[in-house]
A and B are shown apart, each in its own frame.
Chain A
Amino acid sequence: MAQPAIVVEAFRKAYGDVEAVAGIGFTVAEGEIFGLLGPNGAGKTTTLECLEGIRFPTAGTLRVRGVDPSREPGRLRDVIGVQLQTSSLPETMRVEEAMRFFCAYHGVAPRLDMLDRLGLRSKLRAEYGTLSTGQQRRLALALALAHEPPVVFLDEPTAGLDVGTRAELHALVGELRERGVALILATHDMAEAEKLADRVAILLAGRIVASGTPKALTAAAADLTRVTVRSEHETLAARTAQLPGVQRQARKDGYDVFFTDAVGPTVTAVLRALEEAGDPLVDLRVERPSLEERFLELTANGGVA
């Protein structure tokens, strides 16, 4: 069986008396996208920074492709690609110059095609200080991927990006997965994590309070499924008691919203009721609880689901 690309065991990190990460563990396989989710101060960035060799763990074991980040920084640089949450380049450094500069340090040819792909072709001669925040984030991403590292860490990669670039990033992440790259994605964006990540861990106050595939996590949610219905004569409002599985009902913007723990029987009953009332159906939507709702549920309960 192949060794995991990233191993985190009993990892603790304290800043003085403050314990930022309180003994967490997870592994990430090659070709796997692992989402690290959590509110501000949960320990996501600290975990990434220790894996990136920027900070040193207080206790525990960290390995990235077999490399100990705090003991072998030289070897680590060839193995990882990093987009930091907050990073910067010298104001006067030009975009193309940055690509040539860092690629030279990685010992690879400059990847100008990467700049092209991330919409920076017209900015090759622009100085870093003149770029917008989104352009600076895109440059950081291009630099992180230019040397084709087998392990990639992205910390809030889509913060400040427009819709088009975000879609391009998502496509890039998909390609990285196909190439067998192990990727950790730290993000606040639950929809993004749900879409991209194979597995996620939710961090709260330095501890992992839930982990698994996004589907498994949302399936464990206490939230009810929403059935949202709109009919021509709006006759459903008075019939809640007759609909099986419905726990509560609300009305919003002309829609009846039924919160149910039995989707099939509820939808069947809704359709039957409308037919009996001679009230034509206009719109019907079924929405399962999202990862975001599961996240909010966990964080609201202080990690006790």
Chain B
Amino acid sequence: MRPRTPSRALLHHAAFEFGSGLRNRAMLLLLYLFPLGFFLIAGALMVGLNPGFRETLIPAMVVFAIMAGCLLGLPDPIVVAREAGIFRSFKIHGVPAANILLLPGAAIVVHLTLVAAIITVAAPLLFDAPLPARFGAYLGVFLAAAAAHAGLGLLIAVVSASTRATVLWSQLVFLPSVMLGGLMVPSEMIPDTLATLARLLPATHAMNAMRGLAYGDATAFSAAGSLLVLLAGAVLGVALAVRLFQWDRRAEGRRVSPAWGVLVLAPYVLGALLL
């Protein structure tokens, strides 16, 4: 037996996960077709109705793509794989639990980077949308937002007992995020009570940080604070997902209650109270 080379295994695994995003039709739809289709429709429709919408078109569509990929696309294959016994096959061949979660999450972020690049290039050409003023900050906020949503998506996957539950949890975050997160309606136009509640959503912080840090716009609350909330949410989401991971439905051992997953809200609750 040759000496173990974890990097070779990691490379094969990462390549497979990235390829799955293109081979799996559902993933292809949620990662590329849905957000890019929505970008084209929203860009044409909303900019026509409200020319001011073009000011936030790029961040709004990039955050939308992040939500579609991480909340709607990421959890389902993980639940399906667990229920089908795929992770048992992985376990008997020595695939670490962390790789099973982290590599799909990382692959999604790479796909989302491509989608974000397409939106960023196409939006000014198609809809005369302004580019971010600070590209470094734009990239940093994008990665933080993607990581926070990916952590949340992974957590939804590990606490959901079935794909039906996954859809419920995902929609519980996705729909309010679209309505209240500042993507379609500027956060300044949302009533105060709802605006405070909206700060429990990672999308709100993603939009706030994008506008404040990448575009240099004035924001209702601290954009740097939002970035910190996103980073804390990412770390906590991924850590909780790895801790609560189960190899299969009947998995044994040091079982931790999925209810601990609620801890992921901590940075967002603090953000709503303190920012």
Contact = CB atoms under 8 A, between A and B. Distances in A.
Interface of A: 15, 52-56, 74, 77-78, 80, 82, 84, 86-93, 97, 100-102, 104-109, 127, 140, 143, 147-148
Chain B CB count within 10 A is highest, among A91, A104, A109, for A104
A73 to B, nearest CB: 8
Interface stretch (B12-20, B172-180, B227-235): B12-20
A84 B247 CA distance: 14
Interface of B: 1-5, 8-9, 11-13, 16, 19-20, 23-24, 77, 81, 84-86, 88-89, 91-95, 247, 250, 252-253
A39 B89 CA distance: 24
Contacts of A143: 93
A88 B24 contact: no
Nearest to A87: B89
A78 B1 contact: yes
Given A84-B85, A88-B89, A91-B24, A104 B94 contact: no
A169 to B, nearest CB: 19
Contact of A106 (B23, B24, B93): B93
Contacts of B12: 97, 100-101, 104
A56 B2 contact: no
B92 A84 contact: yes
B2 A109 contact: yes
B146 to A, nearest CB: 23
Contacts of B247: 54
Nearest to A90: B86
A70 to B, nearest CB: 8
B92 A88 contact: no
B8 A55 contact: no
Main secondary structure of the interface of A (DSSP, over half): loop
Contact of B16 (A15, A97, A148): A97
A88 B90 CA distance: 9
Contacts of A53: 91-92
B81 A108 contact: no
A107 to B, nearest CB: 4
A227 B44 CA distance: 88
A52 B247 CA distance: 14
Contacts of A104: 5, 8-9, 11-13
Nearest to A55: B252
Contacts of A92: 19-20, 23-24
A89 B89 CA distance: 7
Contacts of A105: 9, 13, 93-95
A89 B2 contact: no
5 contacts: A53-B92, A89-B86, A104-B9, A104-B13, A107-B9
B2 A108 contact: yes
A106 B19 contact: no
A56 B9 CA distance: 27
B215 to A, nearest CB: 38
Contacts of B77: 90
B25 to A, nearest CB: 9
Contacts of B94: 74, 77-78, 105-106
Nearest to B24: A92
B148 to A, nearest CB: 26
Nearest to A146: B93
Contacts of B93: 77, 102, 105-106, 143
Contacts of A127: 23
A103 to B, nearest CB: 9
A87 B85 contact: yes
A86 B83 CA distance: 11
Contacts of B24: 91-92
Contacts of A100: 12
A84 B91 CA distance: 11
The 3 A-B residue pairs with the shortest CB-CB distance, nearest first, are A77-B94, A107-B4, A104-B9
A98 to B, nearest CB: 9
Contacts of A101: 9, 12-13, 16
B86 A88 contact: yes
B23 A52 contact: no
Given A84-B85, A88-B85, A88-B86, A54 B5 contact: no
B23 A147 contact: no
B91 A54 contact: yes
A148 B13 CA distance: 21
B29 to A, nearest CB: 14
A174 B31 CA distance: 49
